[in-house]
Structure 1
């Protein structure tokens, strides 16, 4: 490593040569000397001007990569390094700088591969071993951050699930009349009512012309018949029965101690109705 006197002398000599011949490739050596002296702005300006004259000078691009690295502009450093490799090929110097750049960019796995390749032919190199140590510590820190980020994500997801569950639990409970009012407002709904298992209507939202006693008795009998016959072959208890008639549909749903009966037009949108009905049934008090 050059001492200050030697560095000043190099800057002076290179500056003199470049002043005499502005087209000289000595610009790269001068820019590197400025860089080592901590004069990064001067180094950048000299190297940029030189590369305008010698755009295919690989050594000039390598020095510019080092300057940008020292300026903490790692993406620019990587771009210039690629130019250097494009013109002059890969060397130990380019691999070393590439490893440093990737370390700063957080690409630690790629950096480790490069350093291990260099160490395979120079295992005692202190600079390489020091860089490898920084990479390993960085990888460990990355893993810690990833784990912490994962824990934070899972914690937030759990909190959101709890909030959603609380909101669902906070939904107002509907009595049978309120439930029927909501269901009756659905397009295509002709009538809806609750009946007990004896065929007696308990609660209803019906038009005046509707024969409630006949529908209640018929619906209960149909549900009982379906439940008894399906149960006899061990398919389990019937929860719902849907009958499609000419001109209308009848849907019977077991809700505990009662049966919810929906009488609908034949063109009713069953998909939309099921979505609405599931929300209503989730809010309904046990009946």
Structure 2
């Protein structure tokens, strides 16, 4: 562990609480502190362990996404950010990080293919907000562009089964 963390009373309080109760949600701030000191692998391990007990904890998913961004593992970061945005579509930090990740993962301008704004994430957001018609339209637009997109196929099928 980084020596400065051992002198940080707030970190130590969280860390001791986590040692006493490994199912506690304090894993998220612990991971944030570890990242501050460049301990990215440790932060990821802490998040993955904590998310086993709290899979829908937004702060935990966001801490994990931040660690992946800092490690430049943008695919994993994108997946975590999608999960956060499904749980909290207006989460500002997640939206900001998603824009950064999308920029990193986008092809160079010479090879960039024009695509619509329609994404599976957008369809899920519409559906979670009760805008089923808009979600259906987004899934259909995705499938026109990418007929084999399994997430869009499953999402549309799920909407159709709901009515």
Please state whether the residue corresponding to 1:25 is helix, strand or coil.
coil
User: What whole-Å deviation, never above 9, does each CA across 1:256-283 have from its counterpart, x for those lacking one?
Assistant: xxxxxxxxxxxxxxxxxxxxxxxxxxxx
1:38 equivalent to 2:32? Answer no
Higher relative contact order (CA 8 A, sep 6+): 2
Unaligned runs of 5+ in 2: 112-163
Task: Report the TM-score when normalising by structure 1.
Answer: 0.35
Task: Report the TM-score when normalising by structure 2.
Answer: 0.59
Conserved? CA contact 1:34–1:43, under 8 Å: yes
How many residue pairs match? The answer is 108
Unaligned runs of 5+ in 1: 108-141, 148-287
What are the residue-to-residue correspondences of 1:140-155 with 2, within 5 Å?
142-143=108-109, 146=110
What are the residue-to-residue correspondences of 1:17-96 with 2, within 5 Å?
17-96=17-96
Q: Describe the shift of the 1:40–1:5 C-alpha distance in structure 2 as closer, same or farther (beyond 3 A).
A: closer
Moved over 3 A (4+): 4-10
Quote how far apart the aligned CAs of 1:9 are. Answer: 3.4
In structure 1, the residue matched to 2:99 is 99
Conserved? CA contact 2:5–2:11, under 8 Å: no
Structure label with greater radius of gyration: 1
Counterpart CA distance in 2 for 1:45 and 1:26 is 14
Cα RMSD over matched residues? 2.3
Q: Describe the shift of the 1:90–1:60 C-alpha distance in structure 2 as closer, same or farther (beyond 3 A).
A: same
Counterpart CA distance in 2 for 1:18 and 1:6 is 15
Conserved? CA contact 1:66–1:77, under 8 Å: yes
